[in-house]
Amino acid sequence: MNVTFRQLKVFEAVARLTSYTRAAEELHLTQPAVSMQVKLLEEQVGLPLFEQIGKKIYLTDAGREMHYYSRAIAQQLDEAERVVEELKGVRRGRLAIAVASTANYFATRLLATFSQRYENITISLDVTNREGLLRHLESNDTDLVIMGRPPEMGLNLAFDSFMDNPLVIIAPPQHPLMGEKKISLTRLQQETFVVRERGSGTRNAMERFFADKGVELSTGMEMSSNEAIKQAVEAGLGLGIVSIHTLALELELKRLVVLDVEDFPIVRHWYVVHLQGKRLSPVAQVFKDFVLTEGASTVRMPGLA
């Protein structure tokens, strides 16, 4: 087959996005140009690569095979580019980072400091939940991931912790428990908690902690973001458990308070993560080293008092 990399790149985008329109937007091409490249590739292959049923397109058997090889070729070319950049030294390049939504409260500060040192580096940042981070790791489509506790099974990962992630219990300033010292865990059973959705790192850590202590909390509303939890707590809908990193503004403005509870905070850690055996680009390696050596000192930890 006499195919071009351009044809494979366009085809891969259409196959991944299952849409000519979205592929055209991603590649900054017109839809007819995308359709033409796919048609030329199909002529070279000698078989249809897509079939359309209704308004949706699906890969044929030949399309699935070509998608596998097009991704493999693209990854090899990316690796070749990284090797060449390594020979040149870290002066320019691209960095693709995915971070947990909670980590975004400090990730932008890390990236800002890093960007000041390496001005010609282009950074792509995706802020997502734990499920989204695991998809990034599984597909190996980012350089590095910043997240809480990495999964113990499933993916073969390399990870290093770089900073504490204390989880604290928050309340509105007028709450009756405000000002009490060493509030017992059993006392918390009289309260209602606003919690993160199941599967989130914060929810998992909270459930493990209270299960180990033999304490069962009353949970009211489930929220999909830390911002929603903070607003719900501020409105008096219950207590919340969040990372201290999310509270800088609320503590400064005295919109929320951190309760003094026994055995709190729950100290977790932040990790920089990638697939085991992944060959990091020079830019990604420098950023990883920066996070591990300077990450904790770069990020301002809101006070627990």
DSSP string, 271-284: EEEEETT----HHH
Same domain assignment for residues 59 and 153: no
Residue of 122, 132, 23, 134 whose CA lies nearest to 70: 23
Would you call 170 helix, strand, or coil by DSSP? strand
Question: For residue 16, what pLDDT is reported?
Answer: 92
Pair (171, 253) in one structural domain: yes
Residue 63 lies in a domain: yes
In a domain, 62, yes or no: yes
pLDDT at 159: 94
Per-residue tokens: 8:
């494979």
Ordered alpha helix ranges (H), the chain: 5-17, 20-27, 31-45, 61-88, 104-117, 130-139, 185-188, 201-213, 226-234, 248-252, 282-298
Residues 293 and 147 placed together within one structural domain of the fold: yes
| 304, part of any domain | no
Q: What is the pLDDT of residue 61?
A: 94
Handedness of CA 46, 44, 18, 79 (dihedral sign): positive
Residue 192 shares a structural domain with residue 206 = yes
Residue 91 confidence (pLDDT): 61
Q: Are residues 226 and 260 part of one domain?
A: yes
CATH number at residue 73: 1.10.10.10
Report the pLDDT value the prediction gives residue 304, as an integer from 0 to 100.
47
In sign, the C-alpha dihedral spanning 173, 175, 177, 180 is positive
User: What's the CA angle centered on 239, arms 238 and 240, to 5 degrees?
Assistant: 120
Domain tally, the chain: 3
DSSP letters of 217-234? -EEEEEESSHHHHHHHHH
Q: Do 171 and 215 fall within a single domain?
A: yes
Let me know whether 156 and 287 are in one domain: yes
| Neighbouring-strand partners of residue 194 | 240
- The answer to the question of residue 17 being in a domain is yes
Mark whether 159 and 282 lie in a shared domain. Answer: yes
Does a structural domain hold residue 305? no
Residues near 145 by beta carbon (within 8 Å), at least 6 away in sequence: 97, 98, 99, 133, 136, 137, 272, 273, 274
282, 121 Cβ separation under 8 angstroms:
no
Task: Give the domain CATH number at 289.
Answer: 3.40.190.10
217-241 tens-digit pLDDT: 888 888 888 899 999 999 999 999 9
Burial group, residue 226, by CB count within 10 angstroms (0-12, 13-18, 19+): buried
The token duo for 38 is 């796919």
Q: What is the pLDDT along the chain (305 residues), one digit of tens a residue?
A: 788 989 999 999 999 999 999 999 999 999 999 999 999 999 999 999 999 998 899 999 999 999 999 988 888 888 777 766 665 556 667 899 999 988 888 999 999 999 988 887 889 999 998 889 999 999 999 999 999 888 877 789 999 999 999 999 999 999 999 989 999 999 999 999 999 888 788 888 899 999 999 998 888 888 888 899 999 999 999 999 999 989 988 998 999 999 999 999 999 999 999 999 898 888 899 999 999 999 888 887 776 44
Residues 204 and 70 occupy one common structural domain: no
**Burial of 162: CB neighbours in 10 Å, binned 0-12, 13-18, 19+:** buried
Print the domain residue range for 52: 5-85
